[in-house]
Each structure stands twice: as structure tokens, then as C-alpha cells.
Structure 1
């Protein structure tokens, strides 16, 4: 017999309760005899002012009938009894006696099968237990498979986020310096400023210090091991110091890679041996600027040259096509008496955007030592998922620059086919005669990176690049331009300016382009610098360069099981390699992708553009199929077992495709 919710009862269904003592009979039925002493007064529903409609829907769901799949169509509904001493009610079954409720006006006997009562209760309890166990298993699996990853700035838990979301969060935290937002400051003391005024610490006799976080042991994928037993660490500063490793390599200056690095990283009290940091020239200067690590503890790796880290082990740093100063590293180990052919070769990509030129540069160094096989490849697998394909950086930069030139020449209305006037048009009368339309272009960036897009726009528009003066960002861009080691990019610090009237392209933190309010805050900061600057600006246009926003809202998703089929994967790879072009022209960025994002009634136009500094899925496929390797070790998305299996299947596919191509 099932119960109705209290709000489903009719007033006529509520009966007086008499407590009865149950006793068992030989027939297996329970008979009930009234006992005057056990009579208890029942409260009426009118005392509680409760709705009595039986058709009233029940909104509460946690323990509703439908949750346990109990029958609701039984006409013999047992009423709900509200007892004065309900909290003391118990169910006694250990002595063969059961206290139950009878819905009758008289003292008519009502009999129930014990098995019926117990069966219903047991089925309900089993369903509850099964559901609880399932939920607990799911929660345990999530906790086991998820490593706790904290933001190095605000210490927020980022474990539930994907890599690109963690990067965005960390870079946003670092970019929270008011100077980067637009408020000038006199002295640059730190990349991270304290938003609150300093206060004196209150002394408390019982106050205890915050416990120091115990650092984890270095994971294997952070350690590179050689045949002679020598070991080095790459991008592993947030772990317990090793007692035997003294050489640490930093691939580039992004927070998710230098996390754990600090001024006291070589503190003899914390480290058993003195450590040395190896990185590119730009990264070394930025590390010194932020962490004040002495330059005598840093070794600068020359680009495209062999650098010996021991008597028999060398490293070659190549441009990673990621952010300024980012490198990929080719480690080569030789025998002590023979340097003609390496006995072990390891390639660490750090974060990189692979292209045909990079692959040829790696193959050139391998050919010089007559060993074209890489024993281990530590691969940036950020976008190793089908669907994450975006155009080349060159294509995106040129298309966006052409779009800005079109806006200046033809104006917003003609470019978008819109007759709506700009809101700026009603705020001031036009005074400039040199340009019919005057635009301010804002390009969003992280702490470092995405500069190529802004610089390409400046080159085409023949204008300079503005960064807020006296800011950390200004100092960092100045370092990048003054120490550019990329032979294909003719940058110099004359491109950078702090004069508003010399530039129509501004480099801003990505968070500035988050909303209309954040853009207005930035414009206000410009007005504080130069009162009359905005009077000649007709429209503000922003660009958010990020690969994971390609296809307008593409999110990380687990692919169908068909994607793991070796045959389908090999077919995809073979078709891709068949149509491969060194210039990457098979996936060009078209200006229509920008035009369709136009919002007619928005005060500011902000466009997502698929500029990525990580390798796309197709980039990784070409990289894995063209290079000869023995083992690939992924460095991203390792906290998901399904993802690891998925990536491993692709590695096996690349190996087979390469063998098939070599056999032709």
C-alpha cells in the first residue's frame, strides 16, 4: 500500500488514528487489537492550513513517489498521520510485533501480509542504495581522475577546466594589474599588483600560520632521461626539488609553465643542490624582470645552434611559433669518444604551433648527425581532438589586417551593408578631413602572446602600436621588440609608442574586450591620459584572437567511439597528407567569418578570430606523420583516461601512415 503526499490528500481521506499492537498468527497474517492506553490525538489538516486538493502537483522531488517508481493509482490510499510525538515513532519488528496505522472510523480489523509490507520497504531501500552507490562512485571517479590544479595567482581550483581555460584564467589574473587596464602607474615593481591598500597585521595570541602546501613529486613526463643516467627537468617548477637534478629548462614565459618559479627557487634551505635555469634570451629577461632571479643562475640558449649542457649531451633551441621567446628543444646524447651519430634523441615541443618550416628545421638537424629517428617526442597535445582545426597564423593576420583597411577606406556602413549610424556620430561633429572614418582597433592579448596579429595590422595601416605607458605590458613588449631573434620578423622597438596620437591600434588585455562596460572603462583611462583624444574616434573595433573560439562557440567534447577506429583514422590521415601544402593554404581564413559576427545595435564591435598559438588537430597529424619517431609522450590532457586512450590511438595511426608512406 502506497502513501500520498500530504498535499495530495482530500480532507475526507484523513482519519483518526488508533495505535494498535500487532501479533502474528499461524496463517502469516497480522491482526490488530485496540488498546485504550495507546490512543493518541491526531491533528487535523486545518490546523496547518495545508492545501487539500488531490490534483495539486507536487514540486518537491527529492523523495517523491516518482523518484522511487512507486504505484500512484491505488485507490485504497493510506492517509498520512501527523502525530504529536511523531519524532518518537518507531517501527518494531524484532519481536514479531509491528506498529502500523489503520484508516478506519470504527474498530474493524484490517489485516496485512508481513511480506507485503517488508517487500515494499526493501524494494524502496534497494533503489535508494543503488542510486547512492552510483552517485558516490561517480564522485569518487571524478576525484581520483582529477588532479588538483590551482591558479598560481589567486589559488582558485582549476582542475575542472580544460587547458586553454586554465591558461585564460591565469593570464587574466596576471593581467589584473590596474596599469594593464589603463591606469598609469609611476613605477613597475611587480607584474602582479596588490589591489587592496596595505594594512597592519593584527597580532593574535592564538593565531596560527597557514600550513605550507606540500609539493608533489616530479611526474615522469616532466623529466627527460638519458642513457648515461643524466636527467633534466622541463617546465617542472611546481614540484618537490630533486636531490639529483640540477638543470631545469623553461620552454616559454606562460604562467602554466613557469608556475612554481620564484626568486628563492634556488634557496639552499629548500634545495639539496644548486640549480640552473635554461631558456631563450627573451624568456630569460622576462624571468629576471618578474622574479628577480639573478642572471648568473640563468643560461641563455642560442637559437638554431648546438649548446652543450654536459660533455656528451647537447640541446638545440628552435622557434616554437608560439609566443615571443617560446622554443622547442632537441636533446641529443653522444658517446664520449664519438660525436658523429647520437645514441639518443629527445624532442620536447613545449607549447608550439607546428608548420612545414618547423618540421624541415627539425629534420635538418637530424640529418646532420645521420640519425633521423627521434627516440621520444614530448608533444603539446592541447588540440588533439578532431574538429579543432583553424587557419594558419599568417592567413588570419593578413585577413584581419585587410578587414581593418577596408573599414578605414569604406566605413562601417558600407563594409557591413548597414545604414545604422554609429553612436559616436551623435556625440560630436566630425572635424577630420584626412580620414572619412576614424577607427580605434583594440587587439586582446595575454601576458605575452598574440602580438603578431596587432603588429601585422600596424604594418598595413602604417601606424604604431600603443601600449599603456609605464605599465608592465609596455616593458614586456619593449623587451620582445628589442630582443627579437626570429629572422623572418623584422620587428624593432620603434614600432611601440606611448603617444596616443601616433597609433590607432592598441594592445590590451583580453578582459578589456569582455563587455561594453570594460571597453568604456578602458576608453575612460585613455581620456585621463589625453582629454581630447576620443573626440576624433568614430568607432571602436575589438579583436579577440583565440583558436578555441573558432567555429563560434566550439567547446571541448568527447568524440564518438568511431573516431577511435584505426581504419577511419588512417583514412583521415592519408587523405590529409595527400592534399598537404607547405603553405597551409588548404584552410584559409575568409573575411566572411568576421562579417557574419557583426551586431547591428552594439555600441562596440568585437570579433573572435581563429588565431591560435597551439597546433591545430591537422597540424599535429602532419607533424606526427612526417617525423620519424619511436615514442610520443603527451604533455596535455593527462587527467582523463579516455583522452589518453584516444591520443594513443592516433599516435599508433601516425606510425602506420608514416611506414606506408616510406614504403612507397
Structure 2
């Protein structure tokens, strides 16, 4: 959950203020707002009546807030990734954050100011994400880093997202061998976890059923034309022919799953739900997908697996990002006290992990 403190939201550069995911803190003198992505903890305070200035965001996020929230497009400025806009002498650029569709890090630069101010929003700092960021920086230093510290503890050394997707497929295949007439339910947010659902669909060789509202979000996010490898459409708003459904993460209780099973009137004999979250990580998972334990009820007919699929950075990825960027100041944006800690110790060779931990848990 993003911290609702102004210290984690306000970027001040050359006399110009930007509030990043900070609509709760809007005030008359601030005219520039940055939205990094379309998750509800980042749109807190944003309503359809917003008229306090201009919202800068990616094209996908712009489509979502306009069409799903009713925000007036006159107050929204959509930017393609890595295309810079000048705002009162400050350069603003979005760089891929590797989080949900439309997510971006916001980079701020200004003449006469050394380095870049980088706000990651929520991010998955995978090797690919870090490589793209380093390419864009082209050797420029990072003065301040507002960092997504969701998993800033050494216990959260979960696997890369691609590995988690492989595990989802392996579990799906094993469950189909156990019971061929199995319904799979993948937990999700209003946007996000699409790759997890696609992985299960590929293993089950089935389209994914989604409710009409989620289907609209998927279309606006640019995923509407996605296909399974067989050329079959990935998404469907018709349950017929689908053995994979998407459901809110909060709806994976066994009584709900039993209701799903009963509602199919004999079409399925079992239901398997996946809770794709980094919080499920345990050392036992180091052995692979077999380390993802099954919680079974209703005589084994309803089964829940927590799989460490995450759209946030693992602790190792946080270490790698801070080590690569070596920011002069680091401002944690999640699970932290509202203050910044100078990171000049990084430049003197102290391990980046120590700095990140100090910031996040001080």
C-alpha cells in the first residue's frame, strides 16, 4: 500500500511543485499532478470532478481514468513512454516501471540542477526494467530516488515473475492430471495479474472469463487482442468454454469457491484458485512449484495455492536498483517513516541493501 504522506508524493524542482500519486494533498498553488498507474491506492483523492490542474500520465492510464473514473480529458495530459514534456522549465519523462499495464516511473530534470529526480511509483525492478532505465539515463546520475519499498526486507527474496508464471503452469497441469474437470480461478486487482491469468490459460488451453467491467479495463489497457498460442482469443465475457476465470483477490475464500463450483451444475468437479502475491513467499518454495502448498477444503474439491507472482520488486531487485543508481537521497514510498535518508554511504561502498533496509524500517 502506497504511503499516504506528502513526503512520499511531493517533488519540488526549480520552484515548481509536482504531486505524484498525491491527490489527497492537492491545494490551490499546485497545478501539476503525476499519476504513475491506475491502482486505487494511487488514485486516492482523485474524482471525476478534478479541476485542480493537469494530470500527467501514460496513454494507458489516461484512457483508464477518463473512461473508468470519468475524469475530464481537458485536465489529462497523456505521454508515451520516454517522450519528454516541458512543464514550467522542468522536463518530465515516463519510463516503464514493469508493474501493471500503463505503469511508469516519473523522471524529473531541470537546467542547473545536477542529476535526475526519479519517482518509481510502484515498480518491478527486474533485470529488463533496470536495463531499460539505465539505457534511458545514459550515464546521468540520480539525485533523489522515491522508491517503492513494498518488499524491503531480506525475507522477500522471491523468484522472478517469469519463474512464478512457470510455476502457475506446472501446478495447473498437475491439477488437470488429478482432475480433468477442474475450474481455475486467478485472483486479480482492478488492473494487474493479467500475466498470471495468461499463464494459467496457456497451461489449461482455455480462454479466461472476465466480467464486463474487467473486460473494458483490459481493452483500454491494450490487452484486448491478446491470443493463446493456438490462435484462440485469450479473454472472453462468456463462461461457456472457459475453465479459467478471473476474480478479485478478496474473493478466494473456500465458501466462495464452493459457490462457483455449485453454480457450474456439474460441469466441473473441482475448483483450484491461485492467489498470486509476493507475500506468499517462503523458503520452502526454493525447491520450485512443489513448494507452493495447497490449502484444500470440501473433500479436496476446493483448493487454493498462493504463488509468489508479484508486480513489485523483490528484495534482491531493490538491492540491485539502488546499487546501480547510487542516489544521493532515497525516499521510501511504502512502509516507512515520512523522511528521507542520504545515501552517500552507497558511494563509499556500503552495501545498498543496508541503506535500503535502514530507510524502510527506521
- Residue 628 of structure 1 deviates from its aligned partner by 3.2
- 1:360-407 deviation digits (Å, cap 9, x = unpaired): 21211221xxx5211111111111122122111110011111221233
Q: Are 2:129 and 1:373 aligned?
A: no
Which whole-Å CA distance do the structure 2 matches of 1:360 and 1:508 have between them? 33
The answer for the alignment partner of 1:506 in structure 2 is: 245
User: Could you tell me which residue of structure 2 aligns to residue 14 of structure 1?
Assistant: none
Q: 2:275, 2:287 → 1: CA distance? A: 15
Give the structure 1 partner of residue 209 of structure 2: 466
Q: How does 1:572-587 map to 2 (within 5 A)?
A: none
Correspondent of 1:354 among 114, 122, 125: 125
Aligned equivalent of 1:657, options 335, 349, 353: 349
The answer (yes or no) to whether the contact 2:153–2:315 under 8 Å persists in 1 is: yes
**Distance apart, 1:258 and its partner CA:** 0.6
> Who is 1:636 aligned against?
334
TM-score, normalization by structure 2: 0.86
Q: Alpha carbon RMSD of aligned pairs, Å?
A: 3.2
Structure 1, unaligned stretches of length 5 or more?
1-162, 167-215, 267-273, 336-341, 413-436, 528-532, 555-586
User: Equivalent residue for 1:451?
Assistant: 194
Indicate conservation of the 8 Å contact 2:10/2:17, yes or no.
yes
SS of equivalent residue, structure 1 residue 316: strand
Name which of 475, 496, 499 aligns with 2:216: 475
For residues 55-106 of structure 1, the C-alpha deviation after alignment (integer angstroms, 9 at most, x for no partner) is xxxxxxxxxxxxxxxxxxxxxxxxxxxxxxxxxxxxxxxxxxxxxxxxxxxx
How many angstroms apart in 2 are the aligned matches of 1:360 and 1:374?
Answer: 15
Question: Per the alignment, do residues 483 and 536 of structure 1 end up closer, same or farther by CA in structure 2, a change over 3 Å counting?
Answer: closer
The structure-2 alpha-carbon separation of the partners of 1:242 and 1:589, relative to structure 1 and needing over 3 Å to count, comes to farther
2:53 is equivalent to residue 275 of structure 1: yes
CA contact (8 A) 2:60 2:222 kept: no
- 1:495–1:599 distance in 2 versus 1, CA, 3 Å: closer
Indicate the residue corresponding to 2:33 in structure 1: 248
Aligned counterparts of 2:224 and 2:16: Cα–Cα separation in 1: 32
Q: Deviations over 1:317-368 (max 9, x none)?
A: 1221211111112222236xxxxxx74411110011111111221211221x
Matches within 5 A, 1:563-574: none
Quick check: 1:281–1:483 contact (8 Å CA) kept in 2? no
For residues 637 and 659 of structure 1, do their structure 2 counterparts lie closer, same or farther at Cα, with a shift above 3 Å needed?
Answer: closer
| Aligned residue in 2 for 1:321 | 98
Question: Which residue in 1 is equivalent to 2:151?
Answer: 383
Task: Write the distance in 1 (CA, Å) between the matches of 2:209 and 2:350.
Answer: 47
> How far apart are residue 260 of structure 1 and its match?
0.3
Aligned-partner Cα distance in 2 for 1:331–1:504: 46
Q: Provide the C-alpha distance between the structure 1 equivalents of 2:106 and 2:250, rounded to a whole number of angstroms.
A: 32
Structure with greater proportional strand content: 2
- 1:483-536 Cα deviation digits (max 9, x unpaired): 79x9xx99x99321022233211101122212x212233345xx4xxxxx4423
* Corresponding residue of 2:269: 538
Number of aligned pairs?
A: 349
Answering whether residue 324 of structure 2 is matched by residue 626 of structure 1, we say yes
- Deviation of the 1:232 alpha carbon: 1.3
Contact 1:443–1:544 (CA under 8 A) maintained in structure 2 = yes
The answer on 1:597 being equivalent to 2:298 is no
2:57 is aligned with 1:286: no
- Which has the bigger relative contact order, CA under 8 A and spacing at least 6? 2
The alpha-carbon distance between structure 1 residues 253 and 501, as it changes in their structure 2 partners (threshold 3 A), is same
Deviation at 1:314, TM superposition (A): 2.1
| Secondary structure of 2:65 counterpart | helix
Q: Is the 8 A contact 2:37 2:102 kept in 1?
A: yes
Name stretches of at least 5 consecutive residues in structure 2 with no aligned partner: 353-362
Question: Do the aligned partners of residues 599 and 221 (structure 1) sit closer, same or farther apart at CA in structure 2, a change above 3 Å counting?
Answer: closer
Which one of 49, 73, 78 corresponds to residue 264 of structure 1? 49
Q: Distance in 1 between matches of 2:344 and 2:294?
A: 39
- Which residue of structure 2 aligns with residue 345 of structure 1? 116
Tell me: CA distance 1:520–1:323, structure 2 relative to 1, closer, same or farther (3 Å): same
Separation in structure 2 between the aligned mates of residue 251 and residue 512 of structure 1, nearest angstrom: 27
Q: Which residue of 1 aligns with 2:10?
A: 223
The 3 A distance-change label for structure 1 pair 392 and 589 is farther
Contact 1:550 1:609 in 2 (8 A): yes
2:357 alignment partner in structure 1? none
Quote the offset at 1:542 in angstroms.
Answer: 0.6
Between the aligned partners of 1:444 and 1:493, the Cα distance in structure 2 is 22
Q: Rate the CA distance shift 1:405–1:483 in 2: closer, same or farther, 3 A.
A: closer
TM-score calculated relative to the size of structure 1: 0.48
Matched, 1:612 2:310: yes
Distance 1:225 1:440, change over 3 A: same
C-alpha distance 452-588 of structure 1, shift in aligned 2 (>3 A):
farther
Structure 2 Cα separation of the partners of residues 659 and 348 of structure 1:
22
